Each structure stands twice: as structure tokens, then as C-alpha cells.
Amino acid sequence: MGAEPAGRGRRAGRRRPLRTGLLLGSCGALLAGCASMPDSGNLKSVDTSQRPDSQSQVRVYAMPPREGARAIEIVQGFLEALTSDDPQFAMARKYLTKKASREWNPEQSTTVLADGPNTDAGNAANEGEGSRRYTLTGHQVARVDDQHAYRPEDGAYSQSVHLSQDGGPGGNEWRIDQPPPGVVLGESDFQRIYRPVNKYYFAGPAGAGVSGRTGLVADPVYIRQRIDPLTQTVKTLLKGPTNWLRQVVLSSFPSGTELKDPDKSLTLDDQNRLTVQLNSKSDGAGQTRCKEMAAQMLFTLQDLTPSGVEQVTLQRSNGSMLCVLSQERAETVAAHRSADRPDYQYFVDEKRRLVRMSANSGSAADPEPVTGLLGTGEQPLRSAAVSRDEQRAAGVSLDGKSLYTGSLLSDDAIGKAQLRSKAKAEEDRLSTPSWDGRGNLWVADRDPKRPRLLWLDQGAGEPVEVEVPALDGRVQEVRVSADGVRIAFLVEKDGKTSLWIGRAERSEGDGERPEISVLDPTPAAPRMEEVTAMSWAGGSRLVVVGRETGGVQQIRYVQCDGSVLPGTALPGLTGVKEIAASEDERQPLVAHSDDGIVRLPTGSQWQTVVKEGRAPVYPG
């Protein structure tokens, strides 16, 4: 998403001859002076914060078409109505003929344009008496599909809108009989109206590097944040995972499960407990399966309210209780990886040893070498990775040629390298390794003659070459998400490096060695011309270092679906070369910059840890 603040420049670049009004409400009430609005002239855009707690205080209401409105006014009014907080788009439908209103499905898709649709009256064509056609144009940046999944789409947008003069109360008013598919709006309006939510599903057997049946995988979607978000989110969860993730996850909700009364809003009681009555599809679920269902719902709803959801009660279609699960017990049912709090942060010090420091950002203790061969300096290191249980580590030799693994619990002698690169240049050899949730190790060999992505079972044994059929370019860095299903890559092509996310899939193959593939790669930072460093920073979020076209280096959070929320840029830092984040979002960022090893506690500025060091990492 763009860096422009919400509401500013909202209609920039559009030559709109007339704009019908939108009403603004605060806390559900109309603002004073807005009850009567002109039917022509320009309105000022609304500059609101993108934070959910403040956004809930501002609501936007559409106005119906005025009697005798010209065709262009109807088009403009319809587009404005799409940006309002109208639950069922009832006001937008008033700009359509009755037939078009019945057939138009706003849930089909949401097309996001950089500056909103341009409706220059110069492109209108008079097809005859009582008929008009306009072309909406703009630069498309993304599309949200009928599953609420966001995907970047960069290109020109052009869609015709047809009107006829046979609608309205009098039968001779201009109305749209061929609207554009779904909803189309500008990026600043999208950022104001929608918010990201992580749905959670269990890792399926096809997922490579996941923790098995109890591991949860985040499935990010976008919902309208002021239109009953609790009920919307539950409905979206029950519909199942998005197409991109469907092959590697499972839902414990039986197929066809829906709310018993889909038109009734779900509400929390005064103790933040939620009761959900389901239809008959789930009536026969046993206690184990029901609690898995409740765990999916609990973790999905945690970020929708300031204090989270304390308890979920699921009911059968007849109203009897199916099961109850509290927030405290949810972790015993489903492993929510981002809830794991690391003990330490790690980096390679000036003696080329792997050292650690307390993950507590307030600790003043000096870094200390880790236990084991990688902490001795006997084998100088360029980079390292620590397993998620913090019991093992993998290190790449200073020349980038060899990969070693060792225990962090005992002192072992340096053994044989697990992997060697044959590349001539040091920068073309092994990347920083990454551990997945099952304790397997991933690393890229950047040899131009034979670039490979490799997987090592439990960090040992013969490396398995991973198929990445659709990735165009050479992998420079690889990071595996906590759930092990998503793989983030820095990919170099034609001298530029970009960030991609792929889906890891595994099958047993014909022999003992598994077959592993990374499929359907999607851009995760499409606005950045050059990405130089990245790290996972949550179930569906990464922190990236890079620059946009013509811009300077910046550090910001991005969603793994390619969307960026406003206000996610982080304090600047000079010459950032590497960055690390914990998937426990309470932990500070750690970076290697011109100032040495630094970290960024929440709500603070960057603080120097040591002047010399490199390759900071959290477990993973």
C-alpha cells in the first residue's frame, strides 16, 4: 500500500465535474452542519488516523441521488457511495436500476486504484436518446477477491459504466444498468475502510516444515472494519482458507458449517466472552474437534478488540452447548507459534563467534558466547541461525563456503560440514540459513552456475534440493515463517533484489527422501524497487529494509500478501545491512547497521548494543 496518509490526496489527479456528498458521523451521530449538503461542488477529503481505535470514531455516510440528476452525477454518486460505511451498500444500489441492483454483487471483488477511478466527462459517449456510457480509468495496485484475500496487481484499469434513462421513482431518471464488477475505490479509501485480520487453520500434512496437526497457520484477509467486524471475521473463518493456502492447511470446522442465524450480529458479553451458535453441520462434533474449532476462532478474534476474547462457547443448532474453550486453555489445543517468547537474541561478534544476549530489551548484560562449537571462534562465522527451541544452531563459514551445525547445550568438536558451495566468489556462496517449525534447516546456494534452494532434515543428512519452478531470478536470502508454510525470499534479477513469498509443499516421493516444492510465489513488497534485508515479524507480517523508486532506504512492516498499512514505517537508521525480528511481536527489532548491532525496543529509538558485529538473528 502507498505511503500517503489516509484521506490526503484522496481524489488527486481526477477531473471530476461534480461530486455528490458524503456525510460524516462521529460515534454514530451526524456531525453538526452536515445534515444538508450541496448537490454540486467539491468536498474536502477526510484525514483520519489509520489506527483501528481512532478509525472507529469516524463514519462516512452516502447520500441518495437527487431528483433530476445528470448522468455524470449518478456515476459520481455511485462511486462515492462505494466509499461509505453502508453495511449492505444500500445507498449505492439507489444509483442502479432495479435489475442491476439485483445482479450486482459488491462481495465479488474490491479493485484498489492508486488515486481512485477517473470519470472525466470527456470520455462519455452518447449512444442515443436515454443512453450513456462512461469509462472508469486509473492505475490498479491491488485486488481483494471474494474470499477477502489481497493480491497486488500493478497495471492500467479501464471499465465501462452504462446508464439508461428509465430508472428512479419517476421512471425517467438516469440510473446505472451496467455497473463495474464488485467495488472499485482509491487506495486511501481502502486503507480507511478495510483492516487486515489473520484467520487461523491447522497445518495439513502437505505443508513442508510445519509442526503437525496442532500447528496453526495464519491466513490474512481484509474486512470492512466498521461493519460488524466480529461477525464478518467469524463468517470468513467458517468459509475456510483462501485458495492460496488451501492446499497445506485444514479446518476443524466440518464442511458447510455456518452461523445458525447469519443475519444476527455476534457480540461479546461484559467479560469478553463470545457465544456462537452454529448450524447442524457441526452438531456431531466431538469434544476434541470442537475445542480445535474454538481454538481457531479464539486466535482469529484476538486482535479485533483491545483486550481480546477471553472465552468462546460453541453451541449446536438446537442451542445446546457443544464445548467451551478459554484463552488460557487454547495454547494446549493449538500451537500458536508467535506466542513463543524467545530467551535470547543472537549475532556474530567481532571475533566471528555466535554470541547471545537476553531477549529482554531492558537488560544491560553484555553479549556472551553461546555454548558449543559455534561459540568458540574455532570456525570463524559469516552468519548463523538458531533453532526455534534454542537447542541447536547452524553457521556459515566466514568465506561462505561451508555450513556447520552444532548443539547449544554441550561442547562438541567441530565436525564435518553439512554442505559446501562450489561458487568461486564469496558473495555467491551460501546464504544465512533458516530453521522451520519442525527443526529442519533451509539454505540457499547462490552459485551462479548452479543456484539451489536446499533443505536438511533436522539440520543433518543429505541435503534435499527444493523445487522452485515459478521463481524468476536467483535466491539471495531465505527465511521460513514460524508455521513453516510460508517461505520468504530475496530474489535477484537484472541487478535488483525483490521480496517474494512462496508456499512450501511436501510429499514423500518414491523413496525415503521427501519431495519439497515452493509454489505460487507472490510479491510481498511490490512498491520497493530494491529490498536489502527482511525478517518475519509475526504470523503474516515481515519487517523489510529497502527503498522505493527514487527514494532513500527505509525500514517498514509489510504484510505477506503484499499489502502495507499506513503508519508502519519505522525510525530511520543509517546503513542497515541486516535485520531480525521475533514472531513474538513484543520483542525489539535487532539490526546490523553502520552503528554496529542495534535494537529498537517498542516505543523507543534505536539503541547501540555493540559497535562491532554482524548477522543478528532471533530463533528461526
State the Cα–Cα distance between residues 553 and 572, nearest whole angstrom. Answer: 8
**Residue of 15, 265, 194 lying closest to 117 (CA atoms):** 15
Q: How far apart are CA 312 and CA 327, in angstroms?
A: 8
Answer yes or no: are the C-beta atoms of 119 and 79 closer than 8 Å: yes
Mean pLDDT for 85-97 is: 94
**Helix pair angle (287-301, 229-238), 10° resolution:** 140
At 318, which amino acid appears?
N
Least Cα distance to 305 among 270, 263, 258, 333 occurs for 270
| Gap between the Cα atoms of 227 and 232, Å rounded | 8
Contact in structure between 343 and 331 (CB atoms under 8 Å)? no
Q: What pLDDT was estimated at residue 2? A: 37
How far is residue 262's CA from residue 276's CA, in Å, rounded to a whole number? 11
For residue 600, what are the β-bridge partners?
589
Question: What tens digit of pLDDT does each residue of 167-182 get?
Answer: 667 678 999 999 999 9
Percent of the chain with pLDDT over 70: 85
What are the backbone angles phi and psi of residue 254, rounded to the nearest 5°? -55, 145
| pLDDT for the residue numbered 120 | 67
Q: What is the mean pLDDT of residues 203-214?
A: 61
Phi-psi region of 191 (alpha: psi -120 to 50; beta: other; left: phi over 0): alpha
Nearest CA-CA partner of 150 in 540, 455, 511, 510: 540
**Band of the pLDDT at 136, cuts 50, 70, 90?**
very high
Nearest to 617, CA basis, from 586, 585, 578? 578
Between the alpha carbon of residue 447 and those of residues 278, 398, 406, the distances in Å are 55, 16, 25
DSSP β-ladder status, 110-113 and 131-144: antiparallel
Over range 354-364, report the average pLDDT: 77
Instruction: Report yes or no: 481 and 582 within 8 Å, Cβ to Cβ.
Output: no
Average pLDDT of 197-214?
72
Q: How confident is the model at residue 438 (pLDDT cuts 50, 70, 90)?
A: confident
Q: How many CB atoms lie within 10 A of CB 494?
A: 5
DSSP for 93-114? Answer: HTTB-HHHHHH--TTS-EEEES
Query: What is the amino acid identity at position 379?
Result: Q
d(CA 409, CA 550) in angstroms, rounded, equals 48
- How many Å apart are CA 418 and CA 437, to the nearest integer? 20
Amino acid at 165: Q
How far apart are alpha carbons 476 and 444 in whole angstroms? Answer: 7
* DSSP character at residue 253: S
Identify the residue with better confidence: 386 or 168. Answer: 386
Are the C-beta atoms of residues 581 and 544 closer than 8 Å to each other?
Answer: no
CB 185 within 8 A of CB 113: yes
Phi, psi of 322 (to 5 degrees): -95, -50
In tens, the pLDDT along 316-349 reads 999 999 999 999 999 899 877 555 689 999 999 9
Per the CATH hierarchy, to which homologous superfamily does domain 338-617 belong? TolB, C-terminal domain (2.120.10.30)
**Do residues 223 and 47 lie in contact, with contact meaning Cβ atoms separated by under 8 Å?**
no
Grid cell of 265 as nine digits: 450480529
Q: Which range has the worst mean pLDDT, 112-126, 282-296, 486-500?
A: 112-126
Q: Which of 255, 235, 325, 318 is nearest to 283 (CA)?
A: 318
| 3-state SS, residue 336 | coil
So what's the pLDDT on residue 364? 53
Where in the chain are all domains bearing CATH 2.120.10.30? 338-617
Tell me how far the alpha carbon of residue 104 is from its chain's centroid.
28
What's residue 514's pLDDT?
86
Q: What is the pLDDT of residues 584-594, one digit of tens each?
A: 888 999 999 99
- The mean per-residue pLDDT over the stretch 350-379 comes to 87
Q: Band of the pLDDT at 298, cuts 50, 70, 90?
A: very high
Q: Is the pLDDT of residue 413 over 90?
A: no
> Residue 111's closest CA among 82, 140, 154, 77?
140
Lowest mean pLDDT among 37-46, 165-174, 232-241, 481-490: 37-46
